[in-house]
Amino acid sequence: MNNYDIIIIGAGINGLTTASILGKKGKRVLVLESREKVGGMASSMEFAPGFKCNVINDTIKWIDPRLIKLLDLNAKGLELVQPEILRIILGENSEHIAFHKDVAKTIDSIAKYSIIDSERWKDFISYIEKLSQFLEKIYELTPPILPKIGIKEILGMRSMLSPIRKHGTRGIVDLLRVAPMMMPELVDEWFENELLRSSISTAGIHHLSFGPYAAGTGYNLLHQHVHGNGLFHNIQFAKGGTERFAIVLKDYAESFNVEIQTSTKVISINTDQNVCNGISLENGEQIMAKQIVSSLDPNNTFLNLVGPSNLTPNFRKQINNIRYRGSTARIHFALSSLPEVKGVTKEQMKTIFSISPSVEYLERASDAVKYGKLSDKPYVEFVIPSVLDSNFAPEGEHVLSATIQYAPYHLRNTEWSDSVKDQLKNNVVDTLQKVIPNIRSIIKHTSIISPLDLENEFGLTEGNLNHGEMTLDQFMFMRPTISSSQYRAPINNLYLCGSGTHPGGGLHGTNGYNAAMEVLKD
Amino acid sequence: MSYKNKFTAHTQLKMSPFFERTSKLNESQEWRRWAGYLAATSYELTHENEYFAIRTKAGLLDITPLKKYIVKGPESQRLLDQLVTRNIAICKVGQVMYTPWCDEHGKVIDDGTVQRLSENKFRITSAEPNLEWIQSNAVGMDVIVKDDSFTTAALALQGPNSRAILNSISSKTLDSLKFFWMMETTFDNIPVSISRTGYTGDLGYEIWMNPNDALTVWDLLIDKGKPFGITPTGLHALDVARIEAGLILLDVDYISSRHAIIESRKSSPYELGLGWTVKMKKANFIGKSSLLKELDRGSRWSYVGVEIEWTEFEKHYRDVGLAPGLPHTAWRTSTPLYFQNEQVGYATSGTWSPLLKRYIALAHLKSKYAKEGSELMFELKVEHFRKLTKATVVKTPFFDPERKRSCPK
Amino acid sequence: MSKIKKYDAIVIGGGHNGLTAAAYLGRAGKKVLVLERRHVLGGAAVTEEIFPGFKFSVCSYVVSLMKSNVMRELMLPKFGLEILPLESTMTPLENDYLIRTADSDQTYREIARHSKKDAENYMRFGPAMGQIGMAVRPILETIAPNPIRPSFSDLSATKRLFDHVKSLSSKQFEYLTKLMTMSSADFLDEWFDYEPLKATLSASGIIGTFMGPYSPGSAYVMLHHYMGDIDGAFRAWGFQRGGTGGVSMAIARSAEYFGVEIMTETSVQNVIVKNGRATGVSLDNGDEYNSNIVISGLDPKLTFLKMIDKSDLPSDFVSAIKNFRIRGSSGKVNLALDALPNFTCMSGDGHHLRGAISISPSYDHLEKAYDDAKYGNFSEAPFMDIILPSVLDPDMAPPGKHVMSCFVQYAPYDINEGWNDQKREAFGDAVINTISRYAPNIKDIILHRQVLTPADLESTFGLTEGNIFHGELTLQQLFSLRPAVKWADYTTPIKNYFQCGSGTHPGGGITGSPGEMAAKKILGAW
Ligand SMILES: Cc1cc2nc3c(=O)[nH]c(=O)nc-3n(C[C@H](O)[C@H](O)[C@H](O)COP(=O)(O)OP(=O)(O)OC[C@H]3O[C@@H](n4cnc5c(N)ncnc54)[C@H](O)[C@@H]3O)c2cc1C
């Protein structure tokens, strides 16, 4: 039975993407997943009787269009819904700005606070779109081996020519200018209204351990807007929950005879003289294959599964130096009734909310990370999935899923414990209360997922949802390390396809797609 | 961290626990820095007597500045086998191995000895600090790595009479202690370990002890050694002896790959004449794959002994009306070597061998020119003018006495 | 009243870069006039006797980044350039200290006292940074090409740089990428464990910037401070005899030797522009001077927004200059002392007083200082880089007395409620209180003190927002983007109007580099 061409470790979106593509190409593929379900970060759970939630991601920002096309995802039952309102930013009082699918409405919403800003909005989003178009092309590339690039690598990057033709070298210059920026720099150039400025800044800090005053948040903002089709804060919901994406991929892969074993934990990747030849399972079983692809993060792949003594000292050091520092937590609330968000109607609730009164508010929240504390006043984003899909909660009841920054994995002088989690919950509820005054009285159950829980449950090192921070020093040819950014480990026959590779995290499958192409090359 | 010496020289340098004695014996007051320590260059006004003590009697050297590390724990042998090029699995308890260690590109970081103190305990000695390197490679292994540099003092006793001197002090005889083996014994109830190792290529021993016992041990040796001609010996004499023995010196003959800055300064074990220490049958060690490739394509450089031919050398001086200008001490300036008009290498250390009566040097040569017997030209400055004089590639060690390895019958 | 005399070139501002540019032009035989607003030359590189008998390097206090070819070409040693070495850097701690000296054995041993691993890594860190500094040098010494509409020479410069970058090793390239993007704390965490060592090294990453050690981008500023060399030794800092003004005076004398005319107390009101072409300058007092070209040694805000009428500039350029970030974050406290400060951790006189004293016990100390500033306050417990010039050069103070120079962060330009005398003194007190934690006798030995806030730096020295580098050293304000894309090669949208201050490539510090490169660019096209 041990005659697989390829073993893929981990059945998250990227692992399944790679499996699907390789299965379609006729390879004998085995996927091993330690959890009892596929999906990884695209999973749902029932956290209280009758209450369901998307464990980590409520929305899908973008999916690699190549993947949609190749696998014909839409026809295979993945239904993505773009809500009318993409996001509502709430201030501390009942002021809010709504970002609509319809740009004219967004402009109206902004105009309530600043006419000048509303007049600049269109220019701003087309500026961001222009820059994102460069990133889109960069994302489809396998990063070159730098600095020794030759003609081959340059030709490999010729797809960059199309955005250059469209926007000129000025476009690249603008990209080089904006990517290293910090949020205040970017918004200073465009807007005056603080609520709007902070709402833009939230995109820069998404899942980062840094605050908006950190250089490089410009890049993170652009990353959120790749394939944004000219919309700021663009999102989609998967009908039936985010996990549908994973299920569709799984069904697809299985239709090409890919074998997917869940509840199967890989405990080591076996190498001999720098050649990878198979894996061992927790039950002692060893499975051989010609090629092994890991969708786990670099820390898990190399230090936990390959083992530090099988790495060269320099590579080991590089792997050790990757920064994770998860500082995002999730809290799911089971609610006895529909929460009343100040100034927002029920119809408007099919969206994602964020509470960010000012850029300084976000920055102050982020200071906590530096000193290993929880933010007293955290930045909170929330979704009420039960208004999108009634299956998420019993009749008349609701679920509110909050994403919280900053709750650092590394706490000083203490460790994650129930009491720390309680404190986190209190801080979050206090914050929510400002915009949902009756929140306290309607909470029936709470499920708190700390970065440590994310590490334990999903194998995310330090609870980082992107398998490594999305910073410029961990971008492209530096992701995960300068010596392994071509989806190949420096160990023969071992490949990487997780979010720790270029172009980083998110439920988009680009990593898995690019990795599959590299696996097929060999 | 300095030892509590009564000697209160106003110095920012470290003083070894023997310094209280050595500082008073040092008639020349010539000191050199060695790993941050004050180390005697020569005790007498010239080093000849000390050199001849090594070769004909016994020289006593303070080698405390050597870096010493203890590696212990169930996986210590595995760690060492990963680290060094020699096969530590076959190193028996009580045995010592000389070995280099490399970075992952197969370039030498340092060289030193590995002593197997017990099944799961080793001592590593080295010229430069290596703690960070050893520790970083021990990640995930069940071992403890400890810097033993300040907790162990060491002396080298080198020369034909060294065994007799130690036998007169040690509670156990050293007669059956073989070359590159070690033993535990006592001197007047003071526990010491003695390894039959050294840096002179002669019969000799190194004695490892607790720094608190240092002065007592020194006094015992000097006292009991007197009839055998024991002589405190400095680094000048040692340098001559080690060149005769063909032994390389870090930062003189090669540069650690961790400090080399540029690629061309790095050397592999093959390029340092240490090919014999690279055990390719061993499962895996740091640098193996690069060294395999090097073995396959051949090394660009070799490290060889060179002898500067006397007649022509003498003639250069005679031509200007001088007697042959032999170097007074061993030299360490890189000196070009030519084949016809092309520079094909450079000597890094050289000396007049007072015993062999030959002018010898150690040199890096492009492998093509490194065959024994190859005739080269050595650059020489005679009365301010550069000359080329004949030199031949010869086998090392230049000096290799039987007694180095033999045991008394 | 307008003067008839016509010059080949007029340089606005007698800062060291303006003087350097003038000297190079004079050396090429041009008739040059330098106009300086203040009564002394040197701008931010100036020595003044603030209190009788006590001389101060009022702003910049140490020299390292000064280009050695400028020193040679302008014969500066002949005109008084004398740089004495700073021997050590000491970080006083509550009950201990960390000192690094020029001797590697001593430094190794001292660091090993705290962490052996760090001591070993430190021995490799210096050379590694030096290598990167060397790798960056050719980039700094290239006139930044215009990426928008590149000329032939822009293309060939780009090609040369591309080839240069390709020649780097993977390791160098990796470090370079990291240094360009990371926070200095994250970068140093990869090397070291011992907090005071890391914090002190990271301090070079915050000097002159509005960033903390944890801010991404600060590693580049650290690299910027590693690019200097004295006698070929990277990262060596020195003290100009007689104070930093001695550097500027040496350049000024060299310029005069080459026939340059220099006028002080002559403030330029604006540049005269006719048909998109600079033809001279007019002064505050109404005088006008004509010249073929005009060169500004001021920062980009003044160079363009003050000196030129907005209507003479393209609007996208005006907004680019408006968007140019120039937030000031540093202050300076200069003390006249009756005796030497006595540090608890290392009492008495000694080597440690001949070097820099860095108040940087931990990342937290620096970062908290930054947090204060981030929200509009000066740091309660600031970071400081202190030197005692009179220990190195007794002429700086009356016999037996001393001067102490404290470079302080953070003091934000945009302080809550604005700067006033009371705030200034409160800031001064925070500085003295912080020093007294380590040298308790400080309060008893102060004879006089001068406190300079960013607002003072702006009003006295013409540094907009008090930014010491004429613009922040962030990735998007470097090289071809400094101060704005298309105009990073010392030219401006106005014909015959050039820029040569620290707001141009390669940036701030006493380097002479912008002045030299601007002059070379101008002469190349003359
Ligand atoms: C407090 C402080 C500490 C520093 N420490 C160091 C250090 O230790 N080491 C280091 O290398 N660098 C240091 N720097 C930075 C360095 O001093 C500056 O980057 C450098 O001196 C700037 O030189 P410049 O010639 O470009 O500009 P400036 O020195 O700013 O010169 C501009 C000149 O223009 C004049 N001017 C302004 N307006 C007018 C006008 N309208 N008409 C005529 N003239 C005008 C000004 O008076 C000034 O003389 C420090 C700076 C400061 C402020």
A489 and A416 in a common domain: no
User: What average pLDDT does the segment C335-359 reach?
Assistant: 95
In this prediction, residue C234 carries a pLDDT of 43
Atom of ligand 1 nearest to the CA of C58: 1
A386 closest CA partner among A345, A344, A339, A439: A339
In a domain, A464, yes or no: no
CB contact under 8 A, A176 and C181: no
Answer yes or no: is pLDDT of B1 > 50: no
Neighbours of chain A (3+ CB pairs under 8 A): B, C
Q: Do C173 and A210 touch (CB under 8 A)?
A: no
Nearest CA to ligand 1 atom 38: C462
| Confidence at residue A2, expressed as pLDDT on a 0 to 100 scale | 59
Query: Are B1 and C112 a contacting pair at CB < 8 A?
Result: yes
pLDDT above 90 as % of chain C = 87
CB-closest option in B36, B135, B147 to C108: B36
Chain A touched by C414 (CB under 8 Å): no
| Average pLDDT of span A447-462 | 97
pLDDT tens readout for residues A390-439: 999 999 999 999 999 999 999 999 999 999 999 999 999 999 999 999 99
Q: Are C32 and C255 in contact (CB under 8 A)?
A: yes
d(CA A471, CA C421): 42
**Every domain of chain C and the residues it spans:** 3-83+242-325+469-525, 100-232, 327-461
The share of chain C scoring above pLDDT 70, in percent, equals: 98
Helix A115-139 vs helix A161-178: crossing angle, to nearest 10: 120
The number of domains in chain A is 3
Which pLDDT score, from 0 to 100, does residue C127 have?
87
- For residues A282 and A377, membership in a common domain is answered with no
pLDDT exceeds cutoff 60 at C147:
yes
Judge whether residue A92 has pLDDT over 90.
no
Question: Distance, in angstroms, between B105 CA and closest chain A CA?
Answer: 9
Contacts of B141 in chain A (CB under 8 A): 309
Between chains, do C116 and B147 touch, taking CB under 8 Å as contact?
yes
Backbone angles phi, psi at C356, to 5 degrees: -90, 145
Instruction: Please give the single-letter amino acid code of residue B21.
Output: R
Pocket test for ligand 1, best of C59, C65, C224, C330 (most atoms within 8 A of CB): C59
Q: A312 and chain B: CB distance < 8 Å anywhere?
A: yes
Strands C2-12 and C32-35: parallel
B129, B351, C233, C247 from C228: Cα distances, Å: 29, 41, 8, 15
All partners of chain B with 3 or more CB pairs under 8 angstroms: A, C
% chain A with pLDDT above 90: 91
Name the residue range of residue A267's domain: 3-42+63-78+240-323+470-521
The beta-carbon neighbor of C109 closest among B14, B130, B132 is: B14
Nearest CA residue ID for atom 35, ligand 1: C13
Integer Cα distance of C264 and C40 in angstroms: 7
C239-266 pLDDT tens trace:
999 999 999 999 999 999 999 999 999 9
β-bridge pairing A286-294 and A328-335: unpaired
Task: Dig out the tokens for A101 from the structure.
Answer: 């699918």
Are the beta carbons of B140 and A317 separated by less than 8 Å? no
C2-12 and C288-296 as β-strands: parallel, antiparallel, unpaired?
A: parallel
Q: Tell me how close the Cα of C93 comes to any Cα of chain B, in angstroms.
A: 19
Q: Token pair of C311, please?
A: 């209507």
Gap from CA of C203 to ligand 1 centroid (Å): 21
User: Which CATH entry fits the domain spanning B72-140: 3.40.50.300, 3.40.50.720, 3.30.70.1400, 2.40.50.140?
Assistant: 3.30.70.1400
Token duo for residue C246: 């001695």
A274 contacts B104? CB cut-off 8 A: no
Residues 6+ apart with CB under 8 A from B260: B107, B266
Instruction: Specify which residues C272 forms β-bridges with.
Output: C280
Q: A148 and C166: CB-CB below 8 Å?
A: yes
pLDDT, mean over chain B? 95
Q: Count CB pairs under 8 A between chains A and C.
A: 94
Please write the tens of the pLDDT for every residue from A195-237: 999 999 999 999 999 999 999 999 999 999 999 989 999 999 9
pLDDT (tens digit per residue) in B251-264: 999 999 999 989 99
Query: Min CA distance, A273 vs chain C (Å)?
Result: 24
Per the domain annotation, does A150 fall within a domain? yes
Please give the average per-residue pLDDT across C404-427, as a whole number. 97
Kindly state whether residues A381 and A433 are assigned to the same domain.
yes
Alpha helices in C349-453 (DSSP H): 363-374, 389-392, 421-438, 442-445
Given the CA of residue C18, which atom of ligand 1 is nearest to it? Answer: 25
Q: Where are the alpha helices (DSSP H) in C378-484?
A: 389-392, 421-438, 442-445, 454-461
Q: Tens digit of pLDDT for each residue in A232-286?
A: 999 999 999 999 999 999 999 999 999 999 999 999 999 998 999 999 999 999 9
Q: Nearest CA to A163 among A173, A149, A153, A154?
A: A173
What's the gap in Å between C298 CA and the centre of ligand 1? 8
What are the CA-CA distances from residue A207 to residues A325, A382, A403, A407, C468 (Å)?
10, 14, 9, 11, 34
Considering only CB atoms, which chain B residues are within 8 Å of A316? 136, 139
Position C381 pLDDT exceeds 50? yes
Residue B368: pLDDT over 50: yes
Q: Looking at the predicted structure, is the pLDDT value of residue B243 above 70?
A: yes
Bridge partners (DSSP) listed for residue B125:
B68, B113
Query: What pLDDT was estimated at residue C230?
Result: 47
Compute φ and ψ for C92, nearest 5 degrees. Answer: -75, 145
**Cβ pair B261:C119 closer than 8 A:** no
- Low-confidence winner among A69-78, A344-353, B56-65, B277-286 (lowest mean pLDDT): A69-78
Structure tokens, A33 = 């997943």
Say yes or no to pLDDT of C384 above 90: yes
DSSP β-bridge partners for residue B60:
B157, B232
Q: What is the pLDDT of residues A481-493, one digit of tens each?
A: 999 999 999 999 9
Task: Using the 3D structure, point to which of A420, A449, A478 is the last residue of a domain.
Answer: A449
Question: What confidence score (pLDDT) does residue C233 get?
Answer: 47
Q: Are B56 and B246 in contact (CB under 8 A)?
A: no
Task: With CB atoms and an 8 Å threshold, state whether A313 touches B136.
Answer: yes
CA dist., res. C431 & res. C410, Å (int): 10
Per-residue pLDDT reduced to its tens digit, B29-48 = 999 999 999 999 999 999 99
Percent of chain B with pLDDT over 70: 98
* pLDDT range class, residue B104, cuts 50, 70, 90: very high
Rounded Cα distance, A67 and A249, in Å: 10
C190 touches chain A (CB under 8 A): yes
* Closest ligand 1 atom number to CA of residue C302: 38
Q: Which of A157-166, C371-380, C419-428 has the lowest average pLDDT?
A: A157-166
For the domain covering B300-394, report its CATH number.
2.40.30.110
Cα→Cα distances C404→B249, C225, C351, C387, Å: 47, 22, 16, 6
Token output for A137: 């092309």
Residue A94 lies in a domain: no
Q: Is B373 on the interface with A (CB under 8 A)?
A: no
Q: Which CATH class is domain B13-66+151-233?
A: alpha beta
What is residue B7's predicted lDDT score, i.e. its pLDDT? Answer: 53
Q: Are residues A315 and A337 in the same domain?
A: no
Tell me the per-residue pLDDT of B265-318, one tens digit each, with 9 for 90 and over: 999 999 999 999 999 999 889 999 999 999 999 999 999 999 999 999 999 999
Does the beta-carbon distance from C105 to B13 stay under 8 Å? yes
- According to the model, what pLDDT value does residue A467 have? 98
Averaged pLDDT for residues B2-30: 80
- Containing H/E element for A330? strand A328-335
pLDDT of residue A463: 97
Please tell us whether the domain made up of C3-83+242-325+469-525 is placed in CATH 3.40.50.2300: no
Q: What share of chain A has pLDDT > 70, as a percent?
A: 100
Q: Identify the DSSP state of C335.
A: E
State the complex-level ipTM.
0.94
pLDDT in tens, C294-344: 999 999 999 999 999 999 999 999 999 999 999 999 999 999 999 999 999
pLDDT score of C232: 46
A336 and A351 both lie in a single domain: yes
A396: left (phi over 0), alpha (psi -120 to 50) or beta: left
Predicted pLDDT at C126? 87
> Which residues does chain C have within 8 Å of residue A318's beta carbon, measured at their own beta carbons?
174
Residue limits of CATH 2.40.30.110 in chain B: 300-394
Tokens read off for A233: 């804060």
Position C237 scores a pLDDT of 83
pLDDT at C385 over 90: yes
Mean pLDDT value of segment B196-202: 98
ω before C410 within 30° of 0 (cis)? yes
Residue in the structure block whose two tokens are 């009634």? A390
With an 8 Å Cβ cutoff, the interface of chain C facing chain B consists of: 103, 105-106, 108-109, 112-113, 116-117, 119-121, 123-124, 127, 131, 169
- The binding-site residues of ligand 1, defined as CB within 6 angstroms of any ligand atom, are C 12-18, 35-38, 43-45, 59-62, 65, 267-268, 297-298, 302, 330, 332, 407, 457, 461-463, 468-470, 501-502, 508-510
CB-CB neighbors (< 8 A) of C105 in chain B: 13, 33, 35-36
Among A205, A234, A263, residue at a domain's last position:
A234
Chain B positions in Cβ-Cβ contact with residue A307 (cut-off 8 Å): 140
pLDDT of residue A1: 47
Q: Does A335 reside within a domain?
A: yes
Range A310-314, long-range pairs (CB < 8 A, 24+ positions):
A310/A271, A310/A274, A310/A491, A311/A490, A311/A491, A312/A490, A312/B104, A312/B286, A313/B103, A313/B104, A313/B133, A313/B136, A313/B137, A313/B286, A314/A483, A314/B103, A314/B104
**pTM metric for this prediction:** 0.94
Q: Angle at the Cα of A214 (from A212 to A220), degrees rounded to 5?
A: 70
Q: Over chain C, what is the mean pLDDT?
A: 94
A495 — phi, psi (to 5°)?
-125, 160
CATH number at residue A391: 3.30.519
